[in-house]
Structure formats: structure tokens, C-alpha cells
Structure 1
Amino acid sequence: MTFTFLSGLSETVDQYDAYILDLWGVVHNGHEPYPGALDCMANFQRHGKPTILLSNAPRTNGFVVEFLEGIGVPRSAYDFILTSGDMTRSVLELQDHELIRDAGKKFYQIGATRDKGLDDGLNYARVFEMSDADFIICTGLVDDTVETPENYRALLLEALDHDLPMLCANPDLTVMRGLVKHYCAGAIAALYEELGGRVALFGKPYAEAYRRALQTLNLPLDSRILAIGDSMRTDIKGARNAGMDCVLVGGGIHAEEWGIAEGEMPSMEQIDEISHLHGFTPTYVMSHMVW
């Protein structure tokens, strides 16, 4: 398995027509933009390369834009944004997924109060007893600073008793907030599947996320796209399955397992090992998204 180390994305600008950027672990760490990220995005714009932020955030894009502005990433820094929350909302709006096509309109939500926008303006009712629900929407843990998926085992067993399907609005298992790892909705969904529950996941690495990203970019089918992410399981797998070149940044989700600090480059041996583990390899590897 071969890959190339990059010192900066300026080395790629003549090879690609547009960029797909992950957010958490690439653009920011949950508190602030990574050093050099905004400069890199400004250089994409300077060279006429459109960018779309493709995020597994379990909120619709307007709330994510607001969050980004709050941590110092202005709306002017990128061209488009698409979230797994947007994709989940689309399924709710069309009611075209097999798990809820014939279901009722009452849902039980597992997640924090910040996870907003999925059913706004739609004819759904949130209920607070599992026995009253027709399906579950999982956006994450109520308090991911102290909870783990095991805190939800009893609740999931109750849902299983009612044979409730689950829509998971964030397939990520974990995320790094600063230097601390937190569980995400995907970890709860994985436990529900393990218990025998029926689950639909929206976002990366699934093909629909990349189809919608390309549709949003509105570029010719033969356009050369470079996807940048920090997770082999979602970003790199999704890009590879979509036939796209991709960059794995080392300062995100895998930094802890590699024992490296933010801004450090993983070693060739570490990339070889994780590539063999997953069965695919990134096109490029770099420490952080810098120009």
C-alpha cells in the first residue's frame, strides 16, 4: 500500500478541481480552528478551488454554521456545507427510507439539546416515553463529557422490546474535543445493532453523502476531487469507495492511538499498520491541513 507524505496542500492545488473537507479533526478541534486551517481555506478560494464542508454533525447546516462562526471559522471561508443532520432531515421530510416508510410520526430522541433542526417545520412529534414512539432518532449522548454507550443499554433494551427502528444522525464512534475523546451517536447505534436493533446511519462513509456533496459542488462528472479527513473509518473509507483521492491528517481522531501530539506527522510504519488494518490506504498523509 503506497501513499505520499505532504508538507502542505499547495502541492496538490494544480491536480484537483475542488476539495471536500471534514470539519472536526481537520478544520477545528471543537474549540478553535487548527493553526493554518483558515489560511489553507483562503488559498483554496484564491486559486478558484471550491470547497464543501462534509460533516457528520447531527444538526442541520445552519446550526453548524452558527457554531463554526462562534469558534472563529467565518461563513466566508468555504463555499458549501453539508451535514449528516441534513441527510437525516431529508429522510424525515420524504419519509422514503424503508425503516420509517410505514412508521408513524412519533419519535424518541437520544441526544443533547444542542442537536437541533432535524424535524423543524415537519409534521413529527417528539415523545418522551419509549412506549409512545414509532422510531428513534439518535444524535448522540445527552452528556458526552461523562457518559458512555453503556449508560444507554437499559434504554436500548426497552426500545428493542418495542422493535423500534433507529435513525442515526452521526455515524462517528468518537470525536476528539481538544485533547479529550468523547463518544458519538454511532457508538450508541453500534450497541443497538449488537443487541439486535434495526439501524440506519447517515453521513460518511456512506455513498449518499458523497453523491450529495458532488451534486452540491455542481461540477462536471469527470472533476478531480480531493477529500481531506482525520478518520480512516469514515473519511478515508468513504472517499476511497467514491473513487476519490484523499488526505489523512494525523492530528485528529487517530492521534491518541499513535501517541502523537496535535501538529505531529504519523510515521510511515503507523500509516502502514492502520492501512493494513482497514484494508485501504489514503492517497496522502499530512500532520494538519496547512497550505
Structure 2
Amino acid sequence: MTDRHPITFDGVTPTPAWAFDQYQRLRDQLPESGAGHGGAQWLASLEPLFSRFDAFVFDAFGVLNTGPAVIPGAVERLNSLQAGGRAALILSNAATASQQALTGKYRGMGFDLSERQIISSRWLLEDSLAREPRQGTWGVIAPQGSDSHSLPSVTQQPVRPGVTDHELDACDGFIFLSSEDWDETRQAQLTASLRRRKRPLEVANPDLVAPRGDCLTLEPGFFAHKLRVDCGISPHFYGKPYGPAFAAVLERLAGIPAHRVLMVGDTLHTDILGARAAGMATLLVTDHGALAGMDIHSCIERSGISPDFITPSI
């Protein structure tokens, strides 16, 4: 099936270097980094850390998979970890699929995971909606045939190709689930509508980019920050690197101290930054995700975000 997430926008084609620079420009919008420490330790894989931590939290894209493709060795590594009695969770900024569908996806890839072991930004959004039902009609940005219709406690207006300015202006707020099929036309429509009347924007996926095969796609976080600048609004973001995502992890791990939890991710500005701010240990994976091909030492120095450990692949 053809992936329909945008790989260009307004003349921009994202690369790892471009994405890193974009995150650097947003540093004032991101959490503060956790306490500093010495230089990162380079490892051949995750395996030497099996006995050093009680729980392991994995980002998905760039660590376990790139789009529909499983990263070689990831299934075996995760299954081996669990066979050794260690707790394992996925913390993902995936926002389109329901919890059940996302679990089915990863089980279909060969990962032995239950719904309880996956915390997605979609789940964080749904939990918020269930606790605090939204009033009025909300425009939901998600592709045709997605699970967007299952969002709880909100009256929805799909925002898809063909949506009219009148329909956008009638919405009391917007929920950005997926950038699939999003383009310059719909971004301009939404920008104009929010300029006419500022309203809330809730963003289930804060990522700027995602690795999908041999390219990076532009994700909801990229478009939401453009709306923030162009319309003077303050989007509410779910997922990494923001604190509630990591608080949900620690709650799910039933009392395991944060310093005994290792976050395994491929981005400094989301996985590593968010986990450090929460007091977790961190492992940066370099070969398959947002930093692939980059000078990792330079990225750490420029960002001031240093993981505890670095490995090419888990």
C-alpha cells in the first residue's frame, strides 16, 4: 500500500540534518533537559544493559521498525529481554490507530506485546478526552478509513480533502491525529480559519518527522508549530517529549523508580530529552531513525542533550 504521508511541503524535503535544526529552533517549546552527566557510553547493542535496569521503554519508529518494515534483530532482542523477566513497554507518538489496532500491528510484526504494554500518544489523547469531554464540534484531522471516529467524548467534523471553509469555521477546536494526505492547500485553509477565530488545537503526534523506509515524512508536530507561529495559538501536545507521556510510563510500571528504567529511542529532542527530564536513563539508537548518517557527537554538543548510552541498533 502506498504511504500518503507528505515527504515535501512548500519546497521543503526533510532530511535528518534539517529535522535536527528544526528541533533546535523549537527548544523554547520543549521540556528542560534533566540533570547533566559525563559522556555517553558507546555499546554494540542493548544486550549489555539487560541486567542493569528493571524496565525498558522503546520508541517504535527508528528503533523497532521503519514504517511497515521491522528493523533486523528487533523482534529477537525484545523477546529475549522479556524472556529474562524484564518489563518492556512501547512509548510511541503514533496517533492514527486505536490501541487495539496498534497492538495488532506490532503483534503482526512478531513482537510479543499486549495492549497494556503500549502507550501511544493516541491513548494519551483518548484518556484526556474521556476524563474531560470536549464541548462543541471538533475538526479531526485524520485520513479516510482511520480509527478517528472512535475518539471518545467529542462530536467530530472530519477535516479531509474537500472540507469547506464554512465547515472549518464552524468547528470549536481541532484535533490533529495524522498528517496523511495533508498538504499546502489544507494547511492554508486551516491557517486562514484559525486567523479568523483562534480556537484550541490538540496535537496527538508532536513529532516533526518520522522515518519511513528510505525517507522522512512530515508529521503533525511540524504542521502544528507552523500554525502556532502563523496564527498565534498555543497547541496542546500529547506524547514525547512532554511530561504526561513519561508519567504514564512510570505509572504503568507499578513503582519501578525512574532511574531503574531505560528509555530506548532514536531522537535526542523527543525520546532522550523527555526521558531525561523524567529522571530515566537513556539509550540513543543511531542507525535507523531521525539521526541516521548524522555526526552524533556534534548533535549532542549542539543540543546539549546527552544520552547515557549510544548504540547503532538494539
* TM bucket normalised to smaller: 0.7 to 0.9
The 1:249/1:221 distance shift into structure 2, 3 A limit, reads closer
Deviations 1:146-179 (A, max 9, x none): x4x6751332221231211100000000001111
Structure 1 residues 150 and 229, CA, compared in 2 at 3 Å: closer, same or farther?
farther
- 167, 170, 178: which one pairs with 2:205? 170
1:46-195 pair list within 5 angstroms:
46-59=83-96, 60-70=98-108, 72-76=109-113, 80-95=117-132, 104-113=135-144, 115-117=146-148, 119-126=150-157, 129-143=167-181, 147=183, 152-195=187-230
Partner of 2:310: 285
- Mapped pair 1:221 → 2:257: yes
Select 2:58's aligned residue among 21, 24, 28.
Answer: 21
Q: Does 1:236 align with 2:267?
A: no
Aligned residue type for 1:84: S
Say if 2:76 is the partner of 1:39: yes
Distance 1:143 1:50, change over 3 A: same
Structure 1 range deviating more: 108-117 or 196-205: 108-117
Equivalent position of 2:15 in the other structure: none
Write the distance in 2 (CA, Å) between the matches of 1:165 and 1:123. Answer: 14
Query: Structure 2 vs 1, CA of residues 275 and 91 (structure 1 numbering), >3 Å: closer, same or farther?
Result: same
- Structure 1 CA distance for aligned equivalents of residues 243 and 155 of structure 2: 27
Give the conservation status (yes or no) of the 8 Å contact 2:130–2:152: no
Answer whether contact 1:249 1:287 (CA < 8 A) is retained: yes
Could you tell me whether the CA contact under 8 Å between 1:58 and 1:115 is conserved in 2? no
Question: Offset of 1:94 from its aligned partner?
Answer: 1.8
Query: Cα deviations across residues 180-213 of structure 1 (Å, max 9, x unaligned)?
Result: 1101110111101111122100000111101101
Per-residue deviation, 1:69: 3.4
TM-score (norm 1): 0.84
**1:243–1:58 CA distance, 2 compared to 1 (3 A):** same
Identity %: 24
Q: How far apart are the structure 2 equivalents of 1:138 and 1:49?
A: 35
Query: 1:120 & 1:198 partners in 2: Cα distance?
Result: 22
Q: CA deviation at 1:32?
A: 2.0
1:6 pairs with one of 28, 39, 43: 43
Supply the AA of the counterpart residue of 1:83. Answer: S
Please give the alpha-carbon distance, in whole angstroms, between the structure 2 residues aligned to 1:252 and 1:13.
21
Q: 1:278 to 1:158 in 2, by over 3 A?
A: same
Whole-angstrom CA distance in 1 between matches of 2:115 and 2:44: 22
Q: Conserved in 1, the CA contact under 8 Å of 2:103 and 2:113?
A: no
- Counterpart contact for 1:51–1:79, Cα < 8 Å: no
Q: Among 277, 299, 312, which residue is 1:274 paired with?
A: 299
Amino acid at match of 1:111: A
**Does the 8 Å contact 1:86/1:118 carry over to 2?**
no
Q: Tell me, in whole angstroms, the C-alpha distance in 2 between the residues paired with 1:126 and 1:137.
A: 10
When the two structures are superposed, what TM-score results if normalisation uses the length of structure 2? Answer: 0.79
Following the alignment from structure 1 to structure 2, what is the Cα–Cα distance between the partners of residues 286 and 75?
23
Shift of 1:255: 4.0
Change (3 A) 1:184 1:218: same
Separation in 1, partners of 2:61, 2:88: 15
Q: C-alpha distance in 2, partners of 1:50/1:224? A: 11
Tell me: CA distance 1:58–1:275, structure 2 relative to 1, closer, same or farther (3 Å). Answer: same
